[in-house]
Amino acid sequence: MDFEFNEEIKAISDMASRFAQREILPRVAEDEKNHQFQRDLIYKMGELGFFGCPIPEEYGGSGLGFLAHAVVTEEISKVSGSLRAAFNMQTMGTAREIYQYGNEEQRKEYIPRLVSGEWLGCIGITESDAGSDVGAIRTKAVRDGGVYRFNGSKTWITYAQVADLGIIYAYTDPAVKYKGLSAFIVDMKSPGVTAGPTADKLGWHACPTGEIVFEDVEVPAENLLGEEGRGFENCMGSLDNTRLTAAAGALGVSQALIDESIGYAKTREQFGRPIGQFQMVQEELAQMIVETEAARLLTYRCAMQKDRGIGNTLETSMAKLFSCDVASRAADSALRILGAYGYSTEYPVERLLRDAKLYQILEGSTYIHKIIISNDALGYRKANR
Ligand SMILES: Cc1cc2nc3c(=O)[nH]c(=O)nc-3n(C[C@H](O)[C@H](O)[C@H](O)COP(=O)(O)OP(=O)(O)OC[C@H]3O[C@@H](n4cnc5c(N)ncnc54)[C@H](O)[C@@H]3O)c2cc1C
């Protein structure tokens, strides 16, 4: 399959690359060190149209599509994992979710604010006892006249403390399990919503992650997203999109690790010559390059299928699983190539390694994707619908 980009995708990819080098790179190390959330950069990325690729123009997007979304995500991720998160918070898990499952009023009201960066979004699936097992959610939304009354809590929610709007999953009818889960657009400033940070993290320090408690929160009935009882399907549909972003983010990490490794291997001398001339270093590099290219093919194929409207849960899982595992393997290789300097904060390799590890957890763990892929192959549960 040929991945020749059209002029528009080339232009936005170049713009994202220049933005990452000019605006993010000079401050990323300090912001990560100081746990400084980069709100201003999210505004700027919104203004530049980075969040609007898979959103039609009438809702404030560019309609450039999923492939454009993937390549922009990849460029930003090369420099900052923390800012990569915004591509799911502003686009795939919120704006695109509202576009796919919301009604016309909801689309007009919320999508332009999210893709422009005016409002910050968050996605509330995970709870203390509901990680991979989404059905184990306990948060309840009980209909009470014109509102749903929310009680429960979420954890590990990206942007929990700073979000204006949340796509929150809750049971409207716990008795029927998956068929009783519903999705809501929740105003995160509503009375009864409180958010605070989770335990400190290994990486993504410039990106807030928090817990949310809902105490008798009144959510207007019109904020139901899609139909009551369709929340599980919506959630899986949304994950199908957020997983593409994760694959693209991991791809950016792998490419950045290759670039760092090549630069270092050419200049670092041992035994009287650049270490790049040692065949074992070359072996590491060749492996990183080929695996990253394979991850790129899977990721771009996944994006292009989505652009063509093809249901591709299986191919999305393949792209997510492979690209995210490759990033961790590439981080191991880069650390071997850079030796002590790779372990220091002087080079970005240690940060990229921490970013890489997260991709094996988020948006369906490595094992969850292996389950999806093998169940499909065995005919136990077909992934594509
Ligand atoms: C920095 C960060 C940001 C996050 N942001 C968000 C967010 O914005 N919104 C949100 O909703 N969530 C978010 N999450 C949560 C994330 O989606 C979950 O961590 C993820 O779903 C995995 O759940 P868990 O960590 O509870 O692991 P668990 O589900 O407890 O899994 C632990 C281990 O058991 C394995 N396992 C579980 N079930 C099976 C099975 N059936 N078969 C085989 N192995 C299995 C897993 O693969 C894993 O290896 C975030 C997490 C982090 C760390």
Question: Per-residue confidence of the chain (385 residues) as pLDDT tens digits?
Answer: 557 799 999 999 999 999 999 999 999 999 999 999 999 999 999 999 999 999 999 999 999 999 999 999 999 999 999 999 999 999 999 999 999 999 999 999 999 999 999 999 999 999 999 999 999 999 999 999 999 999 999 999 999 999 999 999 999 999 999 999 999 999 999 999 999 999 999 999 999 999 999 999 999 999 999 999 999 999 999 999 999 999 999 999 999 999 999 999 999 999 999 999 999 999 999 999 999 999 999 999 999 999 999 999 999 999 999 999 999 999 999 999 999 999 999 999 999 999 999 999 999 999 999 999 999 999 999 999 7
Give how many domains the chain has, as a whole number: 3
DSSP bridge pairs for 214: 152, 193
Quick one: 193 and 278 in the same domain?
no
DSSP bridge pairs for 225: 183
Residue-number span of the structural domain to which 211 is assigned: 122-228
Is 385 domain-assigned? no
pLDDT for the residue 308: 97
Distance 105 CA to ligand 1 centre (A): 33
Is 383 domain-assigned? no
CATH code at position 132: 2.40.110.10
Quick one: 245 and 353 in the same domain?
yes
Query: 193, 209, 228 — which closes off a domain?
Result: 228
Quick one: 183 and 88 in the same domain?
no
CB atoms within 10 A of CB 272: 6
Distance 134 CA to ligand 1 centre (A): 10
Measured from the CA of 125, which atom of ligand 1 is nearest? 11
> What is Dmax (Cα atoms) for the chain?
79
Yes or no: say if 104 and 77 are a contact pair by the CB < 8 Å rule: no
Quick one: 132 and 259 in the same domain?
no
Quick one: 281 and 319 in the same domain?
yes
Instruction: Determine if the pTM surpasses 0.95.
Output: yes
Is the distance from the beta carbon of residue 142 to the nearest atom of ligand 1 less than 6 Å? no
Whole-number Å distance between alpha carbons of 379 and 135: 23
CATH code at position 36: 1.10.540.10
Bin 120: left if φ > 0, else alpha if -120 < ψ < 50, else beta: beta
Is the distance from the beta carbon of residue 201 to the nearest atom of ligand 1 less than 6 Å? yes
Measured from the CA of 368, which atom of ligand 1 is nearest? 47
Is the distance from the beta carbon of residue 374 to the nearest atom of ligand 1 less than 6 Å? no
Residue with CA at minimum distance from ligand 1 atom 12: 126
pLDDT for the residue 2: 58
Is 2 domain-assigned? no
Distance 212 CA to ligand 1 centre (A): 17
Question: Helix or strand or coil: residue 145?
Answer: coil
Whole-number Å distance between alpha carbons of 91 and 79: 19
Quick one: 271 and 348 in the same domain?
yes
pLDDT for the residue 57: 98
Pocket probe for ligand 1: among 209, 361, 366, 369, the residue whose CB has the most ligand atoms within 8 Å is 361
Is the distance from the beta carbon of residue 368 to the nearest atom of ligand 1 less than 6 Å? yes
CATH code at position 338: 1.20.140.10
Quick one: 326 and 363 in the same domain?
yes
pLDDT for the residue 245: 98
Quick one: 272 and 140 in the same domain?
no
Is the distance from the beta carbon of residue 235 to the nearest atom of ligand 1 less than 6 Å? no
Placement of tokens 């008798």 in the chain: 216
Yes or no: say if 295 and 250 are a contact pair by the CB < 8 Å rule: yes
Distance 363 CA to ligand 1 centre (A): 8
Is 131 domain-assigned? yes
Bin 229: left if φ > 0, else alpha if -120 < ψ < 50, else beta: left
Quick one: 185 and 314 in the same domain?
no
Query: 200, 228, 256 — which closes off a domain?
Result: 228
- Residue 384: partners with Cβ closer than 8 Å, 6 or more residues away: 311, 312, 313, 314, 376
Torsion over CA of 46, 52, 58 and 63, rounded to 10 degrees?
A: 150
In order, the DSSP letters of 55-102 are: S-GGGT-----HHHHHHHHHHHHHH-HHHHTHIIIIIIIIIHHHHHHS
Quick one: 374 and 260 in the same domain?
yes
Quick one: 170 and 33 in the same domain?
no
Measured from the CA of 160, which atom of ligand 1 is nearest? 8
Taken as a whole, the chain contains a residue count of: 385
Torsion over CA of 36, 37, 39 and 44, rounded to 10 degrees?
A: 80
* Residues with catalytic function: 363
For the chain, give percent helix, strand, coil, nearest 5: 60, 15, 25
Name the packing angle between helices 349-359 and 25-33 (round to 10°). Answer: 70
Measured from the CA of 126, which atom of ligand 1 is nearest? 11
Is the distance from the beta carbon of residue 131 to the nearest atom of ligand 1 less than 6 Å? yes
Q: Pairing between strand 193-197 and 209-220?
A: antiparallel
Residue with CA at minimum distance from ligand 1 atom 2: 156
Is 207 domain-assigned? yes
Q: Pairing between strand 165-171 and 121-124?
A: parallel
Query: 100, 119, 138 — which closes off a domain?
Result: 119
Residue with CA at minimum distance from ligand 1 atom 7: 157
Residue with CA at minimum distance from ligand 1 atom 51: 156
Q: For 133-164, what is each residue's pLDDT tens digit?
A: 999 999 999 999 999 999 999 999 999 999 99
Is 357 domain-assigned? yes
Quick one: 21 and 75 in the same domain?
yes
Pocket probe for ligand 1: among 132, 154, 184, 242, the residue whose CB has the most ligand atoms within 8 Å is 132
Distance 263 CA to ligand 1 centre (A): 35
pLDDT for the residue 385: 74
Is 298 domain-assigned? yes
Q: For 300-335, what is each residue's pLDDT tens digit?
A: 999 999 999 999 999 999 999 999 999 999 999 999
Is 288 domain-assigned? yes
Distance 236 CA to ligand 1 centre (A): 14
Is the distance from the beta carbon of residue 123 to the nearest atom of ligand 1 less than 6 Å? yes
